[in-house]
């Protein structure tokens, strides 16, 4: 396993364990809260939350799926991009997901709920994997269907878009996932214009 991928796995698991013993303290200060959160909630948007939220998770299944994806795709992308650029890429996707989520929440103006999870970074990794290794086979867990990486990424992104627009599966930040993919696409496009990439 590559060093940044390993460090991200360790950091996410460590923070999740800390969440289990700290109560709501980490959520209050480090989850991503909307801009319009009323003062009576006792929480507010703070600048560092655009990155810190990506190390918090809401459940064991939540962190389990995210860390499985990070483990599966992270090392291949890190080996391709290099350690420094991989870290920039991952955090850039986390930031882009946060920005997208904040914009959507501002437009829809729902009840202020926090956003947590590494999914923005993970979806950025999925996009990169589909772009750089389009013909590698990915086996779904359920149903167990093998498919090329580019097909998997395209289908997954399309499902997220439909779920986000229709409001299906509430409680999941579908537009943040798409924002992570968009941020990854823009970074890759920018880097492709610069040698020696």
Contact 163, 174 (CB under 8 A): yes
Phi-psi map region of 117: left, alpha, beta (phi>0 left; psi -120 to 50 alpha) = left
Catalytic residue among 52, 57, 119, 174: 119
Kindly give the pairing relationship between strand 137-139 and strand 146-148. antiparallel
Q: Would residue 59 show up in a list of annotated catalytic residues for this protein?
A: no
Say whether 22 is catalytic. Answer: no
76: Cβ–Cβ under 8 A, 6 or more apart, which residues? 129, 132, 133
Read off φ and ψ for residue 32, nearest 5 degrees: -90, 110
Active-site position among 52, 57, 174, 177: 177
* Catalytic annotation, residues: 119, 177
């Amino acid at each position: 396993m590559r060093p940044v991928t390993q460090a991200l796995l360790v950091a996410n698991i460590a923070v999740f364990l800390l969440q289990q013993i700290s109560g709501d303290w980490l959520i209050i200060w480090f989850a991503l809260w909307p801009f319009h959160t009323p003062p009576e909630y006792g929480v507010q948007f703070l600048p560092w939350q655009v990155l810190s939220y990506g190390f918090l998770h809401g459940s064991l299944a939540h962190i389990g799926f995210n860390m499985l994806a990070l483990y599966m795709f992270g090392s291949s992308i890190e080996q391709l991009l290099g350690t420094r650029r991989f870290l920039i890429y991952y955090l850039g996707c986390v930031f882009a997901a946060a920005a997208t989520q904040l914009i959507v929440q501002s437009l829809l103006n729902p009840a202020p709920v926090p956003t947590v999870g590494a999914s923005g970074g993970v979806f950025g990794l999925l996009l990169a994997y589909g772009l750089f290794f389009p013909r590698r086979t990915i086996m779904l867990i359920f149903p167990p269907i093998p498919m090329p990486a580019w097909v998997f990424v395209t289908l997954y992104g399309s499902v997220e878009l439909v779920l986000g627009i229709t409001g299906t599966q509430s409680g999941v930040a579908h537009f943040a996932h798409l924002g992570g993919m968009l941020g990854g696409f823009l970074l890759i496009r920018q880097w492709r214009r610069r040698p020696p990439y």
